[in-house]
Amino acid sequence: MIELHQLTKRYGEKLAVQDLTFQVPRGVVTGFLGPNGAGKSTTMRMILDLDRPTSGRVVLDGKRYGQLQEPLKYIGALLEAKAVHPGRTAYDHLLWLAQSNRIPRRRVDEMLELVGLTSVARGRARGFSLGMGQRLGIASALLGDPEILMFDEPVNGLDPEGILWIRNLMKRLAAEGRTVFVSSHLMSEMALTADHLVVIGRGRLLADLPMAEFIRQNSRSAVRIRTPQVEQLLDALRGAGLRPQPGPDGAYEVEDGDLAALGDLAAKHGITLHELSPQQASLEEAFMQMTADSVEYHAGDGPSRASSPTRGEPPTESASAWGEGWQPKRKGN
């Protein structure tokens, strides 16, 4: 479990993270969602003790980071900025990490195999594509078999196969009873990965709730009906106590309408329907509404940090080598 207590980080005038208090439980994937610049990476760096909080504290399974003897055995992370020396090989990088944390050498080979890098393990990191770099980062994170795993925007720049592989990996790690904390600026990605959701904007906590609850709260549903007999339809709907709203292209929408009941109603009145379809508001819309006041730059406001991290990086690769080598094993709870 990761516990944040009133965590705050100030860079000069800028409050990057403000008074964040929440817990990341074990056994589930917790999504850390926020627009670019919201403070996700800063928070994760503070959890790893790479950045010192201005105030507040982080507790990892009851301990402060400084109390962890060989930290990689407790917490593993894939961060945005990869700290791999370009002249070093994947094998040497992992071996160096393993030796400095007294992790057996065989774990290096196992992790290379797991992430599908065995065949390029002796190649220097400077020749790695973005996807290979992500895989090496994941191998590093898993090296010490830690209880807590953190991934900062792990799917950025990956192709669909690589994204699916990472998503499944995170779910398996959580199913083993580990604490899995993953950030993204994409609601759609979180909805597919996370069981629990923590949303921040401008460094502040905006929501902390189960994903199912977020979906329930934010899924406005309506039924769209279209007919050539508009007057009869409106009479029938109003007669049934419903309040149809005009929608696009001559259709009408009934909020929270029941599809079957509306079809039956139309049939009973002999009304021909040209459309009867369920409508769902997207979760992306809900997320955008929630964070509308906390987006640093809107489109047209000039350059956004959003685009900078991926600039100049190699194109996505085919990730057919991502493999399915991970063998699930349950950690003691």
The length of the chain in residues reads 333
The tokens of 53 are what? 């909080």
Place of tokens 């071996």: 95
Taking alpha carbons only, the member of 110, 108, 159 closest to residue 134 is 159
Taking alpha carbons only, the member of 33, 48, 19 closest to residue 204 is 19
Q: Which of 30, 41, 118, 291 binds Mg ion (CB under 5 A)?
A: 41
* Three-state DSSP state, 285: helix
Q: Give every CB contact of residue 154 below 8 A, 6+ residues apart in sequence.
A: 78, 134, 138, 166, 170, 182
Q: Closest separation between CB of residue 52 and ligand ADP, Å?
A: 12
Q: Is 18 in the site for ligand ADP (CB under 6 A)?
A: no
Q: Is 11 in the site for ligand ADP (CB under 6 A)?
A: yes
157 binds, among ligand ADP, Mg ion, none (CB under 5 to 8 A by kind): none
42 binds, among ligand ADP, Mg ion, none (CB under 5 to 8 A by kind): ligand ADP
Q: Which of 42, 89, 156, 184 binds ligand ADP (CB under 6 A)?
A: 42
Cβ-based nearer residue to Mg ion, 41 or 140: 41
Q: Which range binds ligand ADP by CB under 6 A, 36-44, 101-109, 110-118, 226-234? A: 36-44
CA distance 5 to 238: 53
Q: Is 38 in the site for ligand ADP (CB under 6 A)?
A: yes
Cβ-based nearer residue to Mg ion, 40 or 93: 40
Q: Which range binds ligand ADP by CB under 6 A, 37-45, 128-136, 172-180, 272-280? A: 37-45
Taking alpha carbons only, the member of 83, 79, 77, 93 closest to residue 178 is 77
Place of tokens 């189960």: 210
Other C-beta atoms within 10 Å of 298: how many? Answer: 10
Cβ-based nearer residue to ligand ADP, 39 or 131: 39
Q: Closest separation between CB of residue 41 and Mg ion, Å?
A: 3
Considering only residues 48 to 77 of the shown chain, the ones binding ligand ADP according to CB under 6 A are none
| DSSP string for residues in 133-171 | HHHHHHHHHHTT--SEEEEESTTTT--HHHHHHHHHHHH
Cβ-based nearer residue to ligand ADP, 36 or 279: 36
Size of the site for ligand ADP (CB under 6 A): 11
| DSSP class of 273 | -
Q: Closest separation between CB of residue 41 and ligand ADP, Å?
A: 3
At 111, which amino acid appears? M
Q: Which residues bind ligand ADP (CB under 6 A)?
A: 11, 14, 16, 34, 36-42
Q: Which residues bind Mg ion (CB under 5 A)?
A: 40-41
